[in-house]
Structure 1
Amino acid sequence: MSGREWQWPLEKGENLLWQGRPAPRCFTFKNWKLAGIGIVLFLASSFWLMLSIQLVRSDNHSWWLVMIPLPVVVLSLCLGPGQLFWARWRWEQIYYALSDQRLFVRIGSREENFLSYPLAAIRDWKQKRFGSQLASVQIHFAAQKPVVLDCLEQPQILLNHLDSIVRQQEPAGESV
């Protein structure tokens, strides 16, 4: 798992079927339209800020002239480059695994960021394809909010396991 191997807390007799993590470029650039708008806005507002600083310094305009573009610069920094750096930082901490009894999601190294879902609670799944070998998978549970496994490379192994889990839990007369 690219430099870091996680020890999943498997119980005795529990077998690991699949493990993965998001694809780096897909995860980092999944909101690329918003990031693009933020970068363009950041460049324009930075130019506006530089002009206002020059007007204050050279023509003795009020210093409030600098305060007008400053919130726009900060906001666009968060929307554009800041969002890309944040996504890249988060990517390094996300790991997924599927055992024959549970689904694991680990975000970070602390214990409170480790989630475990019993396979018996899985009711359905949906995928959002980004290409032939790239997809995000949303897993629906009986009594919990859905979980999204973002930007998985070659998700077919996981999807095959999820499909067999959902089929096993269908009542005998309700096959689709």
Structure 2
Amino acid sequence: MADAPGWQGLLDDGEQILWQGRPSSRIDWLDGDWRSALMGLVMVAFALFWMFQAAKSGTGMWVFGMLFLVIGLRTALSENVLPAYIRSRSWYTLTNRRAIVATDMPVRGRRLASFPITAATPVVLEPGDPGSIFFGPLALSERKGEGFLLIPEADKVMRIIRKIQSGEETKDAP
């Protein structure tokens, strides 16, 4: 991220990058909301049926099915595909002072979320391969909040964060 065009000048004086990475962009079919996906697929099937039958009648009413088609597709894909797409457009950076989550989305553009890492910052590790690290007050809630999602070396990054929080030297970061 620091070397990518348009992201220069984001670090404060004395701030050093300790780790950078990208999340896994795989689609997580097991962790999504299957009820929403199923409801969306039913809506898509109904919309396609409506549009086909209305087109056969020649009345032009098939256009109304487009609304249900779009809503159904969004409902079906938003819990599994959309998060994977957002992760594919995300970059993570850990410095000796903060965690940075950068995204570059079409239409929305570039966004930067920054989370100070202090001894008082709530940080939660969700182990796994890949694992996730969540920051801030929402990290302690069920909602989880923001963080480094689905990174392959989450345990190593968590150790670096703990060193930052304890005030230890962090020059030996991977």
Is the CA contact 1:16–1:100 (under 8 Å) kept in the aligned structure 2? yes
Q: Which runs of 5+ in 2 are unaligned?
A: 139-143, 169-174
How many residue pairs get aligned? The number is 158
CA shift for structure 1 position 14: 2.5
How far, CA to CA, are the matches of 1:86 and 1:146 in structure 2?
17
Residues 21 and 80 of structure 1, relative CA distance in 2, 3 Å threshold: same
Superposed CA deviations along residues 95-115 of structure 1, whole A, max 9, x for unmatched, are 111111222121228997223
How far, CA to CA, are the matches of 1:93 and 1:73 in structure 2?
26
Structure with higher Rg: it is: 1
- SS of 2:160's partner is helix
Partner of 1:156: 155
Please, what TM-score do these two structures have when normalized by structure 1?
A: 0.63
- SS of 2:10's partner is coil
CA shift for structure 1 position 140: 2.0
Identity of aligned residues (%): 18
How far, CA to CA, are the matches of 1:111 and 1:46 in structure 2?
32
Partner of 1:174: none
Q: Which amino acid aligns with 1:161?
A: I
How far, CA to CA, are the matches of 1:95 and 1:34 in structure 2?
30
Is the CA contact 1:28–1:91 (under 8 Å) kept in the aligned structure 2? no
Partner of 1:73: 69
Partner of 1:93: 89
Partner of 2:172: none
Q: Which runs of 5+ in 1 are unaligned?
A: 170-176
Please, what TM-score do these two structures have when normalized by structure 2?
A: 0.64
How far, CA to CA, are the matches of 1:10 and 1:35 in structure 2?
40
- Superposition pairs of residues 23-38 of structure 1, within 5 angstroms: 23-26=24-27, 31=32, 33=34, 36-37=37-38
Is structure 2 residue 45 aligned with structure 1 residue 44?
A: yes
Is the CA contact 2:40–2:74 (under 8 Å) kept in the aligned structure 1? no
How far, CA to CA, are the matches of 1:163 and 1:78 in structure 2?
39
- SS of 1:157's partner is helix
Partner of 2:114: 116
Q: Which amino acid aligns with 1:148?
A: G
